[in-house]
Amino acid sequence: MFEQIERVPGDAILGLIEAFKKDTNPQKVDLGVGVYRDSQGNTPIMRAVKEAEARLLKNETTKTYIGSHGAPAYGNVVLPMVLGENSPVLDAGRASATQSPGGTGALRLAADFIATQLPGKDIWVSDPTWPNHLGIFPAAGIKLHKYPYVDADNRLDFDGMLSALKQIPEGDVVLLHACCHNPTGFDLSQDQWKQVLEVVRERNLLPLVDFAYQGFGEGLDEDAYGVRLLAESLDEMIITSSCSKNFGIYCERTGCLIMVAKDNEQMENVRSQIAIVARENYSNPPAHGGSIVSEILSSDDLIPVWRDELTEMRDRINTLRRDFVEALKPYGLDQKYACIAEQRGMFSYTGLTPEQVDRLRDEFGIYMVRSGRANVAGFSHENLPYLAKAFAAVNS
């Protein structure tokens, strides 16, 4: 039977990693991968995570199943992190948390819930968006459409986005990135979030907000502005949160599906359906990552350690963004690439063409995906002058 199975090409990013490893250029730079890097190019375990793990190892007494919704302690710390400490949504008992295998798992739960409980609804995603969005929803049987997000001059196309949202059939699902838009780095301002809210209201859309980078843009609360605005203003929304980046626990698969309903009664109804969706996918989520997060967020001594380290990561990225644009000044390219300093999060749509990306790889050993998306965490103060020189060369 298997003789008829066709092999498909591997993930482009994996191919890039292989090519980078083989490159013998001593100045090579990897701007492809999707994880945070420190100034040494490492993705270290955060200090608070190490300490939390030590405590867990000492104190844990069982490895039994944690249930389809995951550990209640995890939901109890993630909900206020996402919705705010004094959230009226939480006070009203309108939000439900389900621990999931990463933000990806939460997206798949959301997709299955929409497909089974809200049949006939299509989903609208930004163009471009994180490529996995393009796979997850159709895999669950949901029709996917795109709304514009970036214009031909590599700027946020907010007007285009808003007018497209106004055309979405009433009741459809619209996927929004809470902050640190992947792959572009272009985020909505507070005023723009308010305008999106108005359209969502007018068209009676169901917002699904993907929140994979809380704390990587401007701050834990600042990055949650759009999420909290929608949750507090609307009866219903879906949030998919991830702790992969902000706790640096990528491999522990730690995410959360948050369902916001009109009232506590409807939330419990929705929650009961989510348990079924989770059970049918993987039964129970893995426990360890969630235990780390709840250990940190419920320990007065670990919270500041974690917050400081998250701030360090965020500041490093934002400083490198500014310093890179500075380094382009002598080449007269600072205006052209000014957007890199304005974008937020780990990724930048640089505006480089696929041909320029190829030249950067072939002539300078600088690796990024052909869309021109760079992982800014791959910048360092050591390689900025080299990167600037290479950008200048492929612009001449």
Name the site residues for ligand PMP (rule: CB under 6 A). Answer: 34, 102-104, 130, 177, 182, 210, 212, 242, 244, 250, 255
Cβ neighbours of residue 47 closer than 8 Å, sequence gap 6 or more: 305, 309
Reply yes or no on whether 21 is catalytic: no
- From the list 124, 130, 193, 306, the catalytic residue is 130
- From the list 30, 112, 210, 223, the catalytic residue is 210
CB of 242 to ligand PMP, least distance (A): 3
CB of 25 to ligand PMP, least distance (A): 27
Contact criterion met (CB below 8 Å) for 343 and 349? yes
Residue 147: which of 121, 128, 170 has the closest Cα?
A: 128
Residue 254: which of 82, 106, 135, 48 has the closest Cα?
A: 106
Nearer to ligand PMP, 145 or 359 (CB): 145
Cα separation, 391 vs 338, in Å, equals 13
CB of 235 to ligand PMP, least distance (A): 24
Q: Coil, strand, or helix at residue 281?
A: helix
Cα separation, 353 vs 371, in Å, equals 7
- The β-bridge relationship of strands 144-148 and 123-127 is parallel
Residue 13 burial (CB < 10 Å; 0-12/13-18/19+)? middle
Contact criterion met (CB below 8 Å) for 320 and 381? yes
Reply yes or no on whether 329 is catalytic: no
Cα separation, 328 vs 325, in Å, equals 5
Nearer to ligand PMP, 255 or 365 (CB): 255
List residues bridging with 123 in a β-sheet.
144, 173
Nearer to ligand PMP, 69 or 181 (CB): 181
Helical pair 72-83 and 288-297, crossing angle rounded to 10 deg: 60
Cα separation, 55 vs 46, in Å, equals 15
CB of 37 to ligand PMP, least distance (A): 14
Which residue shows structure tokens 């968006």? 129
- The β-bridge relationship of strands 95-100 and 255-260 is antiparallel
Nearer to ligand PMP, 147 or 364 (CB): 147
CB of 137 to ligand PMP, least distance (A): 13
CB of 255 to ligand PMP, least distance (A): 5
Reply yes or no on whether 323 is catalytic: no
Nearest position to ligand PMP, beta carbon? 102
Q: Which residues are catalytic?
A: 130, 210, 245
